[in-house]
Amino acid sequence: MKKIIIVMSIILLVALVIWLIIQYNNGAGQSEKTEYVASNRDEEILIVDIDELEKRAAEFISIGALGYIQGGAETESTLRRNQTAFDMVDIYPRVLTGVNEPNIKTSILGTEISLPVIVAPAAAHGLAHVSAEAGSAKGAAVSGTIMSVSTYASSTLAEVAAAGDGAPQWFQLYLSKDDKANRQLVKLAEDLGYKAIILTVDAPIGGNRFRDARNNFEFPLALPNVPRAGGKTQGQSINTIFAAAKNVLTPYDVMYVKSLTKLPVIVKGIMHPDDAEVAIIAGADAIWVSNHGGRQLDGAPAAFEVLGDVANRVNKRVPIIFDSGIRRGQHIFKAIAMGADVVAIGRPVIYGLALGGWRGVVSVFDYLKKDLQRVMWLAGTQNIEEIKNVELRYKCISVKCEPL
């Protein structure tokens, strides 16, 4: 009897060990490995130089997530050029103009906004803050501007719409291979009150992002707006997620999205005048000049370097939105003088969110409002329309001075 008890005890002990191993591999031990903790800060932030936000936000974002947010493709030469390109032109200071308290309000696609800066669509704000895109949306709403929401957001479209509480929002669509899913997403955005559809066309595949590869970065959070047919998103790399989206795009895709909605369709990711022409012919209601923040094709020009050429080809037939590298009032001013109607920011919003939640996002927009107004005052422009008539001074490139 004693031997039987000993044998049974050993069997039970072995069974317990096996059960513990299974539980560890299936979640009990893995939860520590996969649980993601984002910032929960809720405060206004002091901004002296907006470039400093990246370093400050790094204290509250994990290494892999930070690399995903701040990184670009390959050696990041295009990422760096996005900001340095603004130094290729100067703004003439103007005096005796009678300018007083410049008006920075404007409108885009029939929507009035408090400044010519909107939130660019960017994936997974939940990497920066527990409120995710809902927090960014509230900050944008309080700031009086437009929130653009990515298909790859970590908040649902409904959560973002609720946080905006009626403020203008746009939905950025990555086309799925599943037409039914595309129709459902567009209809959902319409039903929730989104004011425009942004069709991103510059990411048929993901860029070669060295930082993500070095960090072996995989999304620690689910992306709830991605169609289920695309598979699980949590624990996947961005390239895997891109691979599940439609990766052959033509002008007919612009026409297709136009057929799904009565909302304006903005074509995002334009870097060549010919592509702008094709998009307009296909029915684009606005052109979005962008190189995806330097995250796709390294060795491409800065978005600002091509903005003037694209604007000349568009010739005011449709509005132009611009992003990639905007950090200061002078950048906003130069982009509008070069042909943009409004500009968009992504990373500064995410860093502000990490540092202060929705209040941090408001702080970012407050900084840009004051900075733009200061630049306009010193440049002798009373309103946004006057900026569009400003002549910038081109610096010398090589041995002669040339337009960008």
In a domain, 30, yes or no: yes
Decide if 272 is catalytic: no
pLDDT of residue 234: 82
> Based on the structure, what is the number of domains in the chain?
2
Check residue 170 and give its pLDDT. 98
Of 62-76, 202-216, 227-241, 310-324, which range is least confident? Answer: 227-241
Q: Are residues 123 and 166 in the same domain?
A: yes
Give residue 33's pLDDT band: very low, low, confident or very high (50, 70, 90): very low
Q: Are residues 67 and 24 in the same domain?
A: no
- 30 and 56 together in one domain: no
What pLDDT band is residue 24 in, cutting at 50, 70 and 90?
Answer: very low
Q: What is the pLDDT of residue 15?
A: 58
Residue 114 phi/psi, 5-degree rounding, is -80, -15
Same domain (yes/no): 12, 114: no
For the ranges 214-218, 242-246, 375-379, the one whose mean pLDDT is highest: 375-379
How does the average pLDDT of the chain come out, rounded? 91
**pLDDT higher than threshold 90 for residue 382:** yes
Domain identity same for 312 and 378: yes
Tell me which residue has tokens 């929401």. Answer: 149
Angle value at C-alpha 197, between 160 and 199, nearest 5 degrees: 115
In a domain, 46, yes or no: no
**Mean pLDDT within 28-39:** 60
Residues 83 and 49: their CA atoms lie apart, in Å, by: 14
Residue 22 lies in a domain: yes
**Catalytic: which of 125, 129, 272, 292?**
292
Give the model's pLDDT for residue 6.
Answer: 62
Say whether both 71 and 23 belong to one domain: no
Residue 235: the pLDDT is: 74
Whether 42 is in a domain gets the answer: no
The reply to whether 189 falls in a domain is: yes
pLDDT given at position 28: 35
Angle between helices 303-314 and 273-281 (to 10 degrees): 50
* Euclidean distance between CA atoms 99 and 96, whole angstroms: 8
- pLDDT at res. 208: 95
Cα(147)–Cα(165) distance, rounded to whole angstroms?
12
pTM of the model: 0.89
Measured CA to CA, the distance from residue 32 to residue 176 in angstroms comes to 33
Q: CB within 8 A of 356, min separation 6: which ones?
A: 41, 42, 43, 44, 45, 363
pLDDT at position 9, please?
A: 61
Is 47 part of any domain? no
Site of tokens 């005890």: 9
Domain that holds residue 113: 52-401
226 and 359 share one domain? yes
Alpha helices in 192-314 (DSSP H): 210-215, 238-244, 251-260, 273-281, 303-314
Both 366 and 275 in one domain: the answer is yes
The yes-or-no verdict on residue 387 having pLDDT over 80 is yes
Q: Considering the domain boundaries, does residue 196 fall inside one?
A: yes
In a domain, 45, yes or no: no
Find the DSSP H helices in 102-237.
132-143, 157-164, 179-191, 210-215
Q: Tell me what the mean pLDDT of segment 247-258 comes to.
A: 97
Q: Are 8 and 157 found together in one domain?
A: no
Average confidence (pLDDT) over 300-312: 98
The 3-state secondary structure of 287-342, one letter per residue: EEECCHHHCCCCCCCCHHHHHHHHHHHHCCCCCEEECCCCCCHHHHHHHHHHCCCE
Tell whether 214 and 280 lie within a shared domain. yes
Domain of residue 241, CATH code: 3.20.20.70
Pair (308, 345) in one structural domain: yes
Average pLDDT for 89-93: 97
Indicate whether 20 and 138 sit together in one domain.
Answer: no
What is the secondary structure of 83-131 as a DSSP string?
A: HHGGGGEEPPP--SS---S-B--EEETTEEESSSEEEPP-S-GGGTBTT
What is the per-residue pLDDT for 16? 55
